[in-house]
Amino acid sequence: MHLMKTVLLLTLAAVRCQATALYSNTTTDQLDSAFYSTLGVTEIGDQIQLFSAGMLTSLDAQFFNVGADATFDAVLRFYNVGGPVGTQIGGPFTAANIFIASGTSATATFSNLGNLLVPQDVVATFSVQNVSAGGDLGLNFFDPPTLGNSSASFFIVYDGTAFSQASTNLDHDNLYMEISGAPVSAAPEPSPAPILAGVLIVMACWKTGLRIRQRR
Amino acid sequence: MSKTVSWMAGIGLMFGASLTGQTGCKPDDGVCLPSVKSQCVSDCSQRCGDVGECIFGCEIGQFTSVDQCTFDCNGLGEPCLQSCLVTVDCINLGCNVVTDKLNISRGAIVYNRSTKVWQQTIVVTNSGCTDLTGLAYFVDSLSSGWGLTNGDGTTTGGLVYKKLGSLQSQSVTTITLLFSRTGATVFDYTPRVVSGLY
C-alpha cells in the first residue's frame, strides 16, 4: 500500500528532473542598450513567458559599459506578473565581482538559483551595485527570443518607488537572457477509468477474502 | 419637409461636437493670447536688468518683425538686436505651439552600440481636427550634459529644432533624435512642437 502511494505521488508530480533551456534570447543582437544612469532607474528587466513553468538553476544576462573599465555586482530578482509587477519570488540572487571593460559587453551568470520554482509568466529584473568608479552600465536588447516569448513593445523599469513599463519605440524591447531549469507541468487530473478499475479490484479482493474466511 | 430637414440638421449640429470629441479630435482654438506677447516682452526686459538698449530691443520685438529689429536697433549694438530677436522668437513660438494637439510618445533613450550614438525614437500623432504644417520639435529644458546633434533648423533667436514636416489630422510620424552626452545625468526634457515655423 505504501509503495502504491509513492508511485502515485511521483506520477502526479510530473517533474522532469534534467535541467534544460526554458527561455532563450541570445541570438539576434539589436545593438541597442538601456542604461541605469540615463533612465534614472535602479532596476531594468522584462516580462517574459518561459517555455514552461519550472525550477530554475541558472540565468545569463548581458551588460554593456559606456564608462571606464569597471567591476560590479549584478543582482537578479524574479517577480510575479502584476500591474505591471507583482510580488517578488525568492531571491535576490547576486553574481559578484564581474569585470567589464570600457565599451564592451559582459555576460553575468547567476548559477545559484537553487531550483527556484517560477510560473510560466514571470518578470526578471537586474540591478547593479558596488560599481567601481567610472563604470556606467546598461543592459543589451536582443530580439526575438528563440525559446519562450516576450512582448517587443515594452520592458520593465523601477525608479526606486514604482515599477513601470518603458518602451524604446523600436519594437525590439527584449533583454538578452538565457534561463535554464527543470520544466514543471501541471499535475494531471486522474482519469476516472483507472480509479473505477482500482475500486473494482479492491472490492473483488475484499469479496474473495470474505468468501475464503466464510469457508473456514 | 424643409422644417424636418432643418430640425434634423440642428440635431446634427448639436451632436457634432460630442461626436468629434469621441474620435479624440481636439478643436482648434486658433487664437494667440495677448498674454503671450506681454509675457515675452516682460521676460526679456527682466533678463536685461538695467541695460537700456536691451530693454528697448525687447519693446521693439513685440512687433514680431526681424526687419524692424534690424532697423530700429541700428546703432544701438548687439544687446538691442539680440533681445529684439529673442522676443520675436518667443512670440512666434508661443503663438504657434501645437503640443497639446498632438499625442507625443517619447521612447526611452538608448545607446546604439554600432553607431556609438545616443538616440531616442519619437512617435507623434496629430490628434487635432486640423492639418498642421511646418512642424518643429523642440527639446526644452534638456538635462545638462546632453545636446541635440541632429537638429535641422534654427530659430532667429538661435534655438535648434528637429523638423517634423506636415501632419494631417489623425496621422502619425516617427522621428529619431540623436544626442551627445557628457557626464552621467538623467536624460530628460520637455517636448514642445510649434507649427508654421518653416
Q: Residue B119 maps to which CATH number?
A: 2.60.40.290
Residue B108 is predicted with a pLDDT of: 98
CA distance A180 to A54: 9
Is the same domain home to B146 and B59? no
Confirm if B89 and B65 have CB atoms less than 8 A apart. no
Which of B129, B132, B106 is closest to B119 using CA atoms? B106
Q: Is the pLDDT of residue A85 over 60?
A: yes
Establish if B134 belongs to a structural domain: yes
Establish if B83 belongs to a structural domain: yes
Q: How many domains, in total, are found in chain B?
A: 2
Show the cell assigned to B87: 522676443
Q: Is the pLDDT of residue A158 over 80?
A: yes
Please report, for residues A120, A174, B46, B143, B172, the alpha-carbon distance to residue A94 in angstroms, rounded to integers and kept in the order given.
Answer: 22, 21, 55, 33, 44
Is the same domain home to B82 and B112? no
Helix (H) or strand (E) holding A14: none
Is the same domain home to B175 and B158? yes
Is the same domain home to B45 and B108? no
CB contact residues (below 8 A), chain A span 32-91, against chain B = 32-35, 37-40, 64, 66-67
Which of B65, B91, B97, B124 is closest to B195 using CA atoms? B97
Beta-bridged to residue A182, according to DSSP, are A55
- B95, B118, B138: which is the final residue of a domain? B95
Least confident window among B14-18, B120-124, B174-178: B14-18
Percent of chain A scored above 70 by pLDDT?
Answer: 78
Is the same domain home to B87 and B107? no
Q: Is the pLDDT of residue A211 over 70?
A: no
Which of A148, A153, A156, A151 is closest to A177 using CA atoms? A148
Residue in chain B lying closest to A168 (CA): B107
Going along chain A from its start, the domains and CATH numbers come out as 16-183 (2.60.120)
Task: Give the mean pLDDT of A189-215.
Answer: 47
Is the same domain home to B190 and B167? yes
Taking CB atoms and an 8 Å cutoff, what residues of chain B touch A166? 108
Establish if B153 belongs to a structural domain: yes
Is the same domain home to B74 and B108? no
Point out the residue among A34, A67, A105 whose CB comes nearest to the CB of B110: A34
Q: What is the largest CA-CA distance in chain A?
A: 93
| Shortest Cα–Cα distance, B123 to chain A (Å) | 7
Residue B27 is predicted with a pLDDT of: 55
Is the same domain home to B89 and B107? no
Establish if B109 belongs to a structural domain: yes
Residue of B110, B123, B179, B189 best to disrupt the A interface, most CBs of A under 10 A: B110
Range of the domain at B132: 99-194
Task: Give the mean pLDDT of A37-43.
Answer: 98
pLDDT band at A179 (very low <50, low <70, confident <90, very high): very high
Is the same domain home to B68 and B140? no
CA distance B53 to B65: 17
Residue B156 is predicted with a pLDDT of: 81
Is the same domain home to B103 and B189? yes
Establish if B23 belongs to a structural domain: no
Is the same domain home to B89 and B125? no
**Cβ within 8 Å, pair A38-B187:** yes
**Cβ within 8 Å, pair B109-A39:** yes
Show the cell assigned to A114: 537553487
Q: How many residues does chain B have?
A: 198
Point out the residue among B108, B123, B187 whose CB comes nearest to the CB of A166: B108
Rg (CA), chain A: 24
Regarding pTM above 0.80, the answer is: no
Show the cell assigned to A190: 486522474
Cα A180 versus chain centre, distance: 8
Is the same domain home to B113 and B147? yes
For cell 422644417, the residue is B3
Taking CB atoms and an 8 Å cutoff, what residues of chain A touch B187? 38-40
Establish if B25 belongs to a structural domain: no
The vertex-B177 CA angle with B171 and B182, nearest 5°, equals: 160
